[in-house]
Chain A
């Protein structure tokens, strides 16, 4: 049996088109319902995005005499950035951060949590689910404060207290292993969303298929690998798309904990853009960096959508 599963699954795909007169009659209602969203998206997303593209082609600055008379510089900002070691380094750090925290960490742990919660034998599901959900509902600043305390360099830091039980000296975790630290924090924060997505997907897997595989002698791992995973591949790729986009854009958590340091070791792209555009007032270069990041995310998005079209 062969079928194609697209992401997102469109319910409308199987619905016959509305007759022309009915569509015309519903036109004002559709416009009324969609209008506010369209206006807001246009005002706050589309227009700023186009303005960013315009700024990226200029040498606009926020301070200094150059701020009075911005000049069109063509692709100079892009050429500068693509040959700039700091920017390329920030892209590399963003890739590492996204790969380990979102694509591997959150996805794997989210899947494990979702599978555990779907097991009938698990006791205390409510407590377990709440514990996993907690990081998602905590505001970003509070989460950052909590982790600043956990990773604090003095002997009062939670992690240092734990390692101290084994006789270890206090360590400044955000200085010694900064990238690993923020990866762990981001995994902690994002695992709940992954769990919810995967839990919903797992509930849609027909129990009879799993039962049939079991009767045929498949082990639990084989069932997951050859039955469950192909059936939920769509939602998994949808999650990967969403988490990649949101993780590439992470700013507050990293800025609060390390501000891109030490020595630029956690200067992910969002921090680099902030530094350039707002701290150093070079809006033109900052905008160009944003556009490059946007293009990278779009390419990744297209790859995910293509990969999500799988045969079962």
Chain B
């Protein structure tokens, strides 16, 4: 009996000690040392944030705070990142600061995974320097802000000016898609290439919607989402027009269909054929200047700015003007489960201000979402990025909300039907409406 009691006492002591130890590890106290974590999943951003962290820690020390930042560097593609961070949100194990694509925010904020930032932003003078269109676009369906933009830009058509000039094809801004298709047919006949890549199909994941279909749709129709009611108008006429465009491009053999059906479609298109000049036009964001084709990019194109130039997207329907699509690139967010929201916000503010922001913009190839970075080096030395910053003011953007994941899924499936030759534009549109209606459910579809 005595032996049993002794064992019980020992176990109780061990459990109590472990509990106290756990408590002390988790309780950093008000002014005590704090360790926060930040997650980055793209190598370029891993490198730059790693470089910036010591500056933040030093600044905190100057303010009398002992804050250590643990960088969680996990190189993943967008889909892998989304899967992983979703699991971490559910488990309550997400890092204190997460750098993610803005397109993920509606879904995560809607699910309650992200902390609202409104109170912090109200007290921060840096927020006043964000361009009004970005501040407006950051407000979610419930009227709150859950993300702080760190990069932005404009989606356009990047084209190989050197190749088109050599072929004798007009390089002036095409006003309509009909005009551009005529030029693309000319290129196809001269080279035998499939000259344009627009993200399409399931393999491109969320990019098919975010970087392909939605920009084309937003340029011709801005009524497909009603922020007041939070519903999607699937009968909005732009949808059918964009599916018809995809169908025309595939039918004329202007799209690299086989490559788009590849598991990693950006690899053969943007990272192989565009740099080789075998695809001459690509829908692409500002990050193309650095992240994709810059000297330190995925596949550098030598003398990039001499060989590549940009057009705005041409008008699709009668009366449409050429346009650029405003891209809300990356954002910082704080999970609702974070125990160090204040310190996390301080890190986000540091990274989105002055030189740290300028360095990130140049590393990522992005325009500034703020109005007070234009003269800050190294951003001030980048004419293409500065121009994109100017273009942001006139670019088109349609804020959307809950259901964008489902719309992206339905668009990916329907465009894939076009790629595989199973549907023309009208049939793909009908398949899209059917899928989207099922996926969104009655509350998110406009009656």
Within 8 A of B (CB), among A237-266: 257-264
A264-B107 CB under 8 A given contacts A172-B258, A278-B83, A281-B405 = no
Contact string against A for B residues 405-438, beta-carbon threshold 8 Å, 1 for contact and 0 otherwise: 1100100010010011000000000000000001
A261 near B108 (CB under 8 angstroms)?
no
Closest to B413 in A: A86
Question: Chain B interface: which of A6-14, A64-72, A205-213, A302-310?
Answer: A64-72
Within 8 A of A (CB), among B383-410: 402-403, 405-406, 409
Interchain CA distance A106-B278 in the complex, whole Å: 42
Task: Enumerate chain B residues within 8 angstroms of A281, measured Cβ to Cβ.
Answer: 86, 107, 405
Interchain CA distance A257-B203 in the complex, whole Å: 13
A278-B86 CB under 8 A given contacts A64-B106, A264-B416 = yes
Closest to A64 in B: B110
Task: Enumerate chain A residues within 8 angstroms of B324, measured Cβ to Cβ.
Answer: none
Task: Enumerate chain A residues within 8 angstroms of B108, measured Cβ to Cβ.
Answer: 63
Contact string against A for B residues 237-269, beta-carbon threshold 8 Å, 1 for contact and 0 otherwise: 000000000000000000000100111000000
Interchain CA distance A260-B111 in the complex, whole Å: 28
Task: Enumerate chain A residues within 8 angstroms of B406, measured Cβ to Cβ.
Answer: 64, 280
Identify which of B82, B201, B403 contacts A64 (C-beta below 8 A): B403
B86 near A64 (CB under 8 angstroms)?
no
B112 near A67 (CB under 8 angstroms)?
yes
B258 near A175 (CB under 8 angstroms)?
yes
Task: Enumerate chain B residues within 8 angstroms of A280, measured Cβ to Cβ.
Answer: 405-406, 409, 439
Within 8 A of A (CB), among B337-378: none
A261 near B106 (CB under 8 angstroms)?
no
Determine the interface band of chain A, counting residues with CB < 8 A from chain B: 20 to 34
Task: Enumerate chain A residues within 8 angstroms of B202, measured Cβ to Cβ.
Answer: 260-261, 264
A63 near B419 (CB under 8 angstroms)?
no
Closest to A274 in B: B83
Within 8 A of B (CB), among A16-71: 59, 61-68
A262-B86 CB under 8 A given contacts A64-B403, A280-B409 = no
Q: Does A80 contact B (CB under 8 A)?
A: yes
Q: Is the interface of B mostly helix, strand, loop or mixed?
A: helix
Interchain CA distance A62-B85 in the complex, whole Å: 11
A80-B438 CB under 8 A given contacts A63-B110, A261-B263 = yes
Closest to A175 in B: B258
Report the minimal beta-carbon distance from A261 to chain B, rounded to whole angstroms: 5
Interchain CA distance A264-B409 in the complex, whole Å: 14
Task: Enumerate chain A residues within 8 angstroms of B402, measured Cβ to Cβ.
Answer: 64-66
Q: Does B285 contact A (CB under 8 A)?
A: no
Q: Does A163 contact B (CB under 8 A)?
A: no
Contact string against B for A residues 268-312, beta-carbon threshold 8 Å, 1 for contact and 0 otherwise: 000000000011111000000000000000000000000000000
Task: Enumerate chain A residues within 8 angstroms of B262, measured Cβ to Cβ.
Answer: 172, 175, 261-262
Report the minimal beta-carbon distance from A50 to chain B, rounded to whole angstroms: 19
A63-B405 CB under 8 A given contacts A263-B419, A279-B83 = yes
Interchain CA distance A294-B441 in the complex, whole Å: 27
Task: Enumerate chain A residues within 8 angstroms of B296, measured Cβ to Cβ.
Answer: none
Task: Enumerate chain B residues within 8 angstroms of A278, measured Cβ to Cβ.
Answer: 83, 86
A67 near B409 (CB under 8 angstroms)?
no
Task: Enumerate chain B residues within 8 angstroms of A259, measured Cβ to Cβ.
Answer: 203, 263
Task: Enumerate chain B residues within 8 angstroms of A68, measured Cβ to Cβ.
Answer: 110-112
Interchain CA distance A62-B409 in the complex, whole Å: 15
Interchain CA distance A261-B420 in the complex, whole Å: 11
A65 near B111 (CB under 8 angstroms)?
yes
B205 near A279 (CB under 8 angstroms)?
yes
A63 near B86 (CB under 8 angstroms)?
yes
Q: Does B14 contact A (CB under 8 A)?
A: no
In the complex, the 3 A-B pairs of residues with the closest C-beta atoms, listed nearest first: A262-B261, A63-B107, A67-B111
Q: A86-B413, A261-B262, A263-B201 are in contact. List 6 more A-B contacts (CB 8 A).
A: A63-B86, A64-B111, A64-B403, A64-B405, A68-B112, A80-B438
The 14 listed contacts between A and B (C-beta, < 8 Å) are A64-B110, A65-B110, A65-B111, A67-B111, A175-B258, A175-B261, A257-B263, A261-B262, A262-B258, A278-B83, A279-B83, A279-B205, A280-B409, A280-B439
- Which residues of B approach A to under 8 Å, CB–CB? 79, 82-83, 86, 90, 106-108, 110-112, 141, 201-203, 205, 258, 261-263, 402-403, 405-406, 409, 413, 416, 419-420, 438-439, 441
